[in-house]
Amino acid sequence: MAQPTYRGATGVAHEMDLIARVGEGDRKAFEELYYLYHRRLARFLTRLTRRYDIAEEVVNDTFWVVWRKAKSFRGDSQPSTWILGIAYRKARNAFRSSARLAERNLQAELLPPTDKEPSGTEELRDWLTRALAELPVEQRLAVELCYELGHSCEEIATIMDCPVNTVKTRLFHARAKLQRLLPQLATPAGESAADSAGGSSAAKPERRPS
């Protein structure tokens, strides 16, 4: 039988119940919540921080807060929004306390080039990974929350503690930059991106929102 999605009404009600039980100190409920979220959080945070050690530390910090704060969760937002919001704030703190990452000013680095020739899906994933790594971390995070985790604009605004319009603007700039970067990354060295894109207007960024 297929597992309910985390946004399904049944799934949300079950998670609400789990959090309520965690608030009463129920370790079994905490264990179930941990297994429901650990993989999702670890993947999300690894992409965000690009460091397994920091991601794992943030996951642990996040669950520690969930354990302590579950009693005060009133269900004003969905469980996934609440938990990802905690993870986001913990990740920001981890960034700030990491001198090496702070020196990078929260900007991602390009992944090192690989020698092998990727193909098909692997090649597309490689381009996307490289392009995403070029985005400022706030834009990359918005992309992950929208496209990978399927959150609504309002949920992302809650998670990132910013106005809805800021989320839209971050996605707008991210999409424009990805449109510029993908043809370049898909072009073999020595060949111009414009040639590869056929000079298509699709490579041009949309007008900046006022």
Partner 1 sequence: MTDACSHQDAWLSLPWLANGRLSGAERLRVEEHVRGCARCSDGCVMC
Nearer to partner 1, 25 or 205 (CB): 205
Distances 58 to 71, 73, 152, 184 between C-alpha atoms, Å: 21, 20, 23, 34
Q: Which residues bind partner 1 (CB under 8 A)?
A: 146-147, 150-153, 155, 168-169, 171-172, 175, 178-179, 202, 206-207, 209-210
Nearer to partner 1, 63 or 82 (CB): 82
Distances 191 to 43, 121, 168, 183, 187 between C-alpha atoms, Å: 34, 22, 34, 11, 6
Q: Give me the least distance between CB of 178 and partner 1, in Å please.
A: 8
Nearer to partner 1, 98 or 179 (CB): 179
Nearer to partner 1, 189 or 202 (CB): 202
- The four Cα atoms 8, 14, 20, 24 give a dihedral, to 10 degrees, of -150
Q: Give me the least distance between CB of 148 and partner 1, in Å please.
A: 9
Encode 188-199: b = buried (16+ Cβ within 10 Å), e = exposed.
eeeeebeebbee
Q: Give me the least distance between CB of 163 and partner 1, in Å please.
A: 13
Q: Give me the least distance between CB of 73 and partner 1, in Å please.
A: 22
Q: What count of other Cβ atoms lies within 10 Å of the Cβ of residue 167?
A: 24
